[in-house]
Amino acid sequence: MTPLVDPFGRAITYLRVSVTDRCDLRCVYCMSERMRFLPRPELLSIEELDRLCAAFVARGVRRLRFTGGEPLVRRGFIDLLKGVGRRLGRGLDEITVTTNGVQLAEFAEDLFRAGVRRVNVSVDSLDRETFKRIARRDRLPQVLEGIDAAERAGLKIKINTVALKHDNAHELPDLVRWAHGRGFDITFIETMPLGEIDEDRTDQFLSLTSVREDMASYWRLTDLPDRTGGPARYVRVEETGGRLGFITPMTHNFCEGCSRVRLTCTGKLYLCLGHEAAMDLREPLRASADDALLHETIDAAILLRPKGHDFQIERMSKPATARHMSVTGG
Ligand code: SAM
Ligand code: SF4
């Protein structure tokens, strides 16, 4: 089968799959308190998700990341991982999961048994009150228990933290110390204008350029060449010995080497996180048990891939795209 290469010569080797738009938290930058979730029949079934993943692996995708919404709230998620996990070493190099950690204590061992070796856990604050304000749910203790369980199960952990001007800016150095002290990489993320929320995002936007300058004023930061085919850039914090990443879609362009496409929980393939270019794969998938039409549609979709994303800080108060990160997958 021919590998997927977009019109700008970039090979598609990474697929991010959102398995649900539902979540057990309501982070202020991500969704509204009264978020309206998709009706269940709209979602791809576990079997359909498995078939789509297999089709992409057959076309050269080597890494799969499962996300959401919160992937651990999706019924059948572990079965999906077990199915997909059988392709590890047969075209597929890695399966990873991005989770808020709330239910990780229950599922960590299952994840490991299914072939997952690395998880990204989102932690925006280590202070219970601040966590509760950001996530609108009092779940920090569960998340920390989940992280302990993941470590015991043998999973490598990376922490994701969205940098927020008012809520956690002052806490970022402590988060780095904590993560590095436990042997975890940590990545800061700038808020992105995706989907309607209850607040104005401009108000919480914190440029990571200034965060980095701040960190560099009391730590020695050494640029690392590490690239993951995505928007993160890494430095080594010499004093802690740990790795710190910055995901800065608003202030830096990361599109040139981008190898990623994203599949929503309804089967829409988005060719870029910050762009509307997309193609529905659910219809061709449901139209026939044979994958020919599906592969034709994937080929047509890849031709739509834009050169780069379309975020602008001046337009931050209005979402660049109407869809939430929880639908497309972060
Ligand atoms: N629920 C899981 C979690 O929180 O890790 C997985 C899905 S979540 C959409 C993936 C990542 O996207 C999280 O690290 C989250 O903090 C981040 N995120 C969500 N909405 C965002 C936004 N508007 N801008 C930047 N990052 C966002
Ligand atoms: Fe849920 Fe993740 Fe969005 Fe927070 S960022 S509301 S945990 S999907």
pLDDT digits (tens, 9 = 90+) for 298-318: 999 999 998 876 655 444 445
Do the Cβ atoms of 263 and 16 come closer than 8 Å? Answer: yes
Give distance in angstroms: CA of 212 to centre of ligand 2.
25
Q: Tell me the fold of 14-328.
A: TIM Barrel (3.20.20)
Q: Which atom of ligand 1 is nearest to the CA of 195?
A: 23
How much is the average pLDDT of 210-230?
87
Cα(16)–Cα(28) distance, integer angstroms:
23
Mode of pairing for the β-strands spanning 94-99 and 278-280: unpaired
Q: Residue 228 — pLDDT band, cuts 50, 70, 90?
A: low
Cα(155)–Cα(275) distance, integer angstroms:
33
Residue 222 or residue 190, greater confidence: 222
Angle between helices 140-153 and 104-113 (to 10 degrees): 20
Whose alpha carbon is nearest atom 8 of ligand 2?
Answer: 69
At 177 the pLDDT is: 97
Report the share of the chain in percent with pLDDT over 70: 90
Tell me, using a 6 A CB cutoff, whether residue 20 lines ligand 1: no
Run of H or E residues at 47:
helix 46-58
**In the chain, where the domains are located:** 14-328
Cα(152)–Cα(155) distance, integer angstroms:
7
Q: Which atom of ligand 2 is nearest to the CA of 68?
A: 8
At 258 the pLDDT is: 80
Sheet holding 94-99, edge to edge: 221-223, 232-237, 243-247, 185-189, 156-162, 118-122, 94-99, 63-67, 14-18, 260-263, 268-270, 278-280
Q: Is the four-CA dihedral 316, 277, 76, 56 of positive or negative sign? A: negative
Could you give phi then psi for residue 183, rounded to 5 degrees?
85, 20
Do the Cβ atoms of 112 and 155 come closer than 8 Å? Answer: yes
Cα(249)–Cα(193) distance, integer angstroms:
10
pTM above 0.75, yes or no: yes
